């Protein structure tokens, strides 16, 4: 009977956990629908800004934002986008593994999300700045504030290179950890002729200096929103799998419980019959 009590308690425990994972799945689904509406609008905006900015870059000859072929990049600032909450599958670990493959001992991290902060602190990697306020309501103003920090680090010469690592949203079940170089920008030598036909006044170099903030803020807005969508989709999938696995475990435990219970009843009947027969003798 002690074994039956243990099995019953285990079944109840799994059922309670299943209620939690199911609730978290519903919450993640609701957030996914909410933030998913932003991604379509944001992707269009990012695409337009990116195209215009590439036209500017391909006509620029001299700028601190362009990579010099002979310049050695000694120190990199890694802008790493993680989540504030866990239970989202491999969302955070995939990003952090990508960073750890390439990060140098002299590099520092701009950690976005509490999971990024704890991960890199544990590994004794220097964190330049923390931002744990990013959520599904992430706005253009917040992107501008982050962009201002990053821009000041780069233009002051504190860092030779800025890299951004985020999760690219492909669909509701596919997410790709992605690495982007923000600065210095590498000119596209294969750029088509149509881009060079665009004329900028007073010059592309001046326009670049004036619009680079817009470019940076747009990239940050787009990648962070895309990461938010990926996080919620990843959490929904993880909680759905956890709920399904819990249901399968409950079914197996219930079968085992019923067998144990039937065995206990059979044993009790056998003992009663044996005792009755002994009295008759």
Q: Which of 183, 128, 127 is nearest to 151 (CA)?
A: 183
273's CB contacts (< 8 A; 6+ apart) are none
Identify whether the C-beta of residue 222 lies closer than 8 Å to the C-beta of residue 48: no
36's CB contacts (< 8 A; 6+ apart) are 229
pLDDT tens-place values along the chain, 281 residues long = 557 788 888 888 889 998 998 988 888 888 888 877 777 777 777 777 777 787 787 788 777 888 776 777 889 999 999 999 888 889 999 999 999 999 999 999 999 999 999 999 999 999 999 999 988 888 889 999 999 999 999 999 999 999 999 998 888 888 899 998 888 887 766 554 444 566 766 777 777 778 888 889 999 999 999 999 999 999 998 899 889 998 899 999 888 888 888 877 787 777 776 766 666 66
- With tokens 């992605």, the residue in question is 178
Q: Which of 214, 56, 233, 47 is nearest to 136 (CA)?
A: 233
What pLDDT score was predicted for residue 84? 94
| Cα 23 to Cα 76: distance, rounded to the nearest angstrom | 41
Domain ranges of the chain: 19-238
What pLDDT score was predicted for residue 276? 65
In this structure, what token pair is assigned to residue 264?
């206990």
Q: What is the DSSP letter of 184?
A: S
Identify whether the C-beta of residue 60 lies closer than 8 Å to the C-beta of residue 205: yes
Domain 19-238 sits in CATH at 3.40.1380.10
What pLDDT score was predicted for residue 146? 94
């Amino acid at each position: 009977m002690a074994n039956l009590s243990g099995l019953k308690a285990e079944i109840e425990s799994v059922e309670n956990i299943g209620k939690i994972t199911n609730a978290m799945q519903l919450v993640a689904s609701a957030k996914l629908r909410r933030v998913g509406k932003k991604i379509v609008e944001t992707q269009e905006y990012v695409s337009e800004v990116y195209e215009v900015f590439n036209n500017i870059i391909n006509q620029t000859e001299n700028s601190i934002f362009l990579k010099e072929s002979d310049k050695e990049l000694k120190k990199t600032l890694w802008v790493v986008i993680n989540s504030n909450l866990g239970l989202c599958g491999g969302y955070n670990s995939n990003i952090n593994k990508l960073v750890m493959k390439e990060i140098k001992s002299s590099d520092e991290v701009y950690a976005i999300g509490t999971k990024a902060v704890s991960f890199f602190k544990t590994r004794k990697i220097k964190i330049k700045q923390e931002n744990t306020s990013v959520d599904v309501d992430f706005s253009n103003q917040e992107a501008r504030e982050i962009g201002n920090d990053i821009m000041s680090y780069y233009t002051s010469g504190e860092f030779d290179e800025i890299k951004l690592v985020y999760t690219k949203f492909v669909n509701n079940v596919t997410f790709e950890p992605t690495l982007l170089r923000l600065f210095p920008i590498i000119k596209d030598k294969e750029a088509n002729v149509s881009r060079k036909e665009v004329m900028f006044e007073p010059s592309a170099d001046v326009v670049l200096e004036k619009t680079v903030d817009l470019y940076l803020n747009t990239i940050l807005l787009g990648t962070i929103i895309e990461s938010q969508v990926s996080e919620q989709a990843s959490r929904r999938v993880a909680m759905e799998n956890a709920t399904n696995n819990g249901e399968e475990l409950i079914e197996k435990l219930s079968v085992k419980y019923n067998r144990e219970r039937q065995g206990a009843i059979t044993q009790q009947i056998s003992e009663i019959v044996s005792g009755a027969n002994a009295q008759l003798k």
